[in-house]
Structure 1
Amino acid sequence: MNYHTYPTHEVLCIDMRSFYASIECVKRGLDPMTTMLAVVGDKNRSGSIILAASPALKQRHGVKNVSRYFELPNDPNIQVAEAKMGDYVRVSVEITRLLHQYVPKEAIHPYSVDEMWITVDGLEPLYGNPEEIAQMIKEEIYDTMGGLTCAIGIGDNKFLAKVVMDLYAKKTGIAICRYQDVERLLWPVPIEKIWGIGHRLTVHLNRMGIIYLGQLANYRLDRLKKRFGVIGEQLYWHAGESI
C-alpha cells in the first residue's frame, strides 16, 4: 500500500489509568498504583456497581469495573470509596488546561472524562518528537496531579493512536503505530479487541470467517458493503489502511 498518499498527523491518544480510583487514592494521600481501592456508586447498596478499581485491586483480585460491591473479596486491605463525579470532572478539566500549555484548544479532542486526543503537529522544534512530547506530558500529569498515571498511544490519525493505546500503551506506557506498522502490529489482533467493533458485529464477522483484523483488511470490499452498508466500508478502510 502507498501510505505516502494518506493524510498524516501527529496524534496522541491519552487515557488516564483507573481514573476514578486513582483520584480517590490521591485524595487520601495514597499511591494509586499500589493501593487496592474500589469506587462504587452507593456504599449503602451491596448490589452497587464497581465503577472503577485501582490497578493493584485488578491485579491481585481480578476485580473488574462491572463487578458488584458484594463481589469484592473479604480483604481488609481493600478500601471502598463512593463516587464523586464532580471531583473527576474537575480533575479532567485541570488535565485539559495542562495540555493547553502544549497545544491550542482546537487541537484537544475529548473522548470521555478520562480520555482525549491531542494533535501535536509542528511541535518538534519546541518539545521534540511525538514520543518525547508524550513522555513530557506523562511526567507533568504525574507530577502536578499527585501521582496520576496515563497511557499514551501515538499514531498518524485518531484511529491508530486510539487502537495502539488500547492494545499496547496500557501495558508499556507509550506505544506508536504508523501506517507502515499496521500489518505488523494490528493485523494479527482478534477483531473483538479493536475499537469500534462490538460483540454483535464480531459475531457476524466471525460467521463470515473473519477472526483477525488482517482477514478483514483482505476481505472483498463489495461483500462487506453489501452485508453491512456504510459500516462495512468503514471497517474495510480501518482494517486495511486505518484512515
Structure 2
Amino acid sequence: MYKYRLRENRYILCIDQSSFFANVSCVSKGINPVEHKLAVISDTKRQGAIVIDATEPLKGIGIETGSRLFEIPHRSDIYIINPNMNHYVNDSLAIYKVLLQYVDCKDVKQFNIDEIFIDITYIYKYYCSSPKEFANMLMEKIEHETQLKCPIGIGPNMFMSKMALKSEAKVNKQLIAEWKYEDIPTKLWPIHPFNKMWGINHRVEKNLNDLGIFTVRDLAHYPLNKLMKLYGEIGKELHLNSNGFDLNNIQDAHRLLKPSISCDIELTRDYQYYEMKSMILEIVESLTMQLRSRNLLVKSISFSMKSRKNDRISKQYTLKDGTNITMDIFRVIWSFTEQLCDKQEKYHELNISLNNFVPERARELNTFIDKFERERNEALEILIKETKRKQKVNRQSNSPLRLSNVN
C-alpha cells in the first residue's frame, strides 16, 4: 500500500532525555543514575508530595513519575531529594550548546520533556562518514559536558528514530541504533507488547484488541478506511506509523508546537437547534477518545456553528485545568450555544477544535514542568540569538567581499 521508495530518506536522530531530572540529580550527588535508585520529590517534607522523576532502577521496583512520597519504601539504598531547577536548566542548555555547534536551530526540535529530535540529513557528512558515527560523536560530547549518557535512535523519520531508541538503542551496549525502511518487517512489526509502539497506550491497545488487532503487523495490514471510520485522524496516524511512516517534519514548528484535534463538518441537511445537541455530543466523544488515547488533557476549546442564513456564531474558552472527559467539554460548548444561538434557526455547519494540550499527569507535576520549560526556553532563546550573532560575524569575516577601511 505504501511506496517506501518514493519517500525521502532522511537521517533523524532521537536523543533520549527520559529520567532527565533524576539523572541530573544523580550526577550532582556524584552517583551513577544507571546503578542507583533516586527520586526527585516536589517537597520531601510532605508525605503526599509527588515523584517528579525517578531513575530507571527505582522505576524497576514500581516507583514512577506521579507516584507519591509515601509509596516509596524506606530503604537505605533509595535517595530522596528536592528538585534543583538551576541544575536542570543548565544541563539542558549544555546539551543544546553541543547540538547547535553542528546543526541549525530549525533542525532541532524538543518534542516533549523526554526527547530531542534533530535532522542531520545534510550535515553529518561534513563531520563523519556515517549518521551512526555522527550520533556517537554527539553522545560523547554531551557526556563530556554533562556526565549524562544519552542513548540515540536513528531513523528516516521521527517515528522510526523514536522506535529505534526505545526498542534497541536503550538496551544495547553502544546505546545507538539505526532503523531503515527495510527493517520494518524484522524490527518494527515484531514489537511486543503492543503498547511499546509509540502512540499506543493501554487504552488504545485494548480498543485495538477488540478489533482483533494484537500486533504491530496486524495494525499495519488492517484496512485504513475502517480505522479512520472508528478513530478519525488518529486511526490514519496509527496506520501510517505501523507501516513506518511519519508525516511530522522537524522543520514544521506549527504542527509540533501547536497541535490540535478538530472536527469540521458540513451537515447533509439543515438541523434544528435542539437536534445539534446530539451531534455536538457525538463529535466531542470522538475527539476526547483521541485525547485519552494520547494521554493528553486539553485546556482550550473552540467551536463555531453556521446557520442556513450564513450567520456564524463562534466561541473560544480556556479551562483552568485540563480535561479529557467528554461531558466536561460538552457542557462548556453547550452552555455557550444556549447563550449565543438563535433557537428558532437551523444550522448546517459545525466545527469543534481542541488545542493547548498538557500531558495527563498530576497538576503539581505539570506546574513544575511548565516552570522548567519556561526557564529553559528563555535561556535557550538567548543561546540561539548569541549563536546566530556569532555565525553572522564569522560569515562576514570570511567573506571575500569584505572591504578594508579606507581613510
How does the TM-score come out when normalised to structure 2? Answer: 0.56
* 1:115 and 2:118 aligned: no
SS at match of 1:128: coil
Q: CA RMSD in A?
A: 1.8
1:208 and 2:211 are equivalent in the alignment: yes
Q: Counterpart of 1:69 in structure 2: which amino acid?
A: L
Q: Which structure has more strand as a fraction of its residues?
A: 2
Q: What does residue 131 of structure 1 align with?
A: 132
- Cα deviation, residue 199, structure 1: 2.9
Q: Distance in 1 between matches of 2:244 and 2:166?
A: 18
The aligned residue for residue 220 of structure 1 is 223
Correspondence for 1:154: 154
Q: Deviations over 1:204-243 (max 9, x none)?
A: 2110011111000001111112212222222211112423
Which of residues 173, 196, 200 is equivalent to 2:199?
196
Identity of aligned residues (%): 36
Map of 1:74 onto structure 2:
74
Cα pair distance change 1:163/1:68, threshold 3 Å: same
More deviation, 50-59/66-75: 50-59
Name the CA distance, whole Å, in 2 between partners of 1:178 and 1:120: 15
Letter aligned with residue 116 of structure 2:
M
Larger Rg: 2
Summarize the alignment of residues 34-183 of structure 1 with structure 2, pairs less than 5 Å apart.
34-59=35-60, 61-122=61-122, 123-145=124-146, 147-172=147-172, 173-183=175-185
Name the SS for the 1:153 alignment partner: strand
- How many angstroms apart in 2 are the aligned matches of 1:193 and 1:36? 24
Q: Which amino acid aligns with 2:151?
A: A
Q: Secondary structure at the match of 1:150?
A: coil
Which residue of structure 1 lines up, in the alignment, with residue 357 of structure 2?
A: none
Aligned to 1:236: 239
**Is the alpha carbon distance of 1:234 and 1:58 closer, same or farther for their aligned partners in structure 2, counting shifts above 3 Å?**
closer
Which has the larger displacement, 83-92 or 208-217?
83-92
Q: Per the alignment, in what secondary structure is the counterpart of residue 44 of structure 2?
A: coil
Gaps of 5+ in 2: 247-407
Structure 1 position 149, deviation (Å): 1.2
1: distance between equivalents of 2:114 and 2:84? Answer: 14
Amino acid aligned to 2:178? I
- Residue type of the alignment partner of 1:78: I
The C-alpha deviation readout for 1:122-165, integer Å capped at 9, x for no partner, is 222422211111111111111111x2111111000011001221
> 4+ runs of 1 displaced by more than 4 Å?
none
The answer to whether the 8 Å contact 2:188/2:216 transfers is yes
Give structure 1 stretches of 5+ with no counterpart: none
- In structure 2, how many angstroms separate the alpha carbons of the residues matched to 1:234 and 1:217? 11
* In 1, Cα distance between equivalents of 2:230 and 2:86: 44
- The answer to which of 67-76 and 101-110 deviates more is 67-76
Letter matched to residue 148 of structure 1: L
Number of equivalent positions? 241
In structure 1, what residue type is equivalent to 2:143?
Answer: Y
Tell me the distance in 1 between the aligned counterparts of 2:238 and 2:77: 45
Alpha-carbon separation, structure 1, partners of 2:128 and 2:212:
46
Distance 1:226 1:56 in 2: 42
Give the TM-score normalised by the residue count of structure 1: 0.91
Query: 2:159–2:244: 8 Å Cα contact kept in structure 1?
Result: no
- The amino acid across from 1:231 in the alignment is I
* Separation (CA, whole Å) in 1 of partners of 2:112 and 2:92: 9
Deviates more, 1:179-188 or 1:121-130: 121-130
Q: Which residue of 2 aligns with 1:24?
A: 25
SS of aligned partner of 2:39: strand
- Look up the SS of the partner of 1:127 in the other structure: coil
Aligned to 1:15: 16
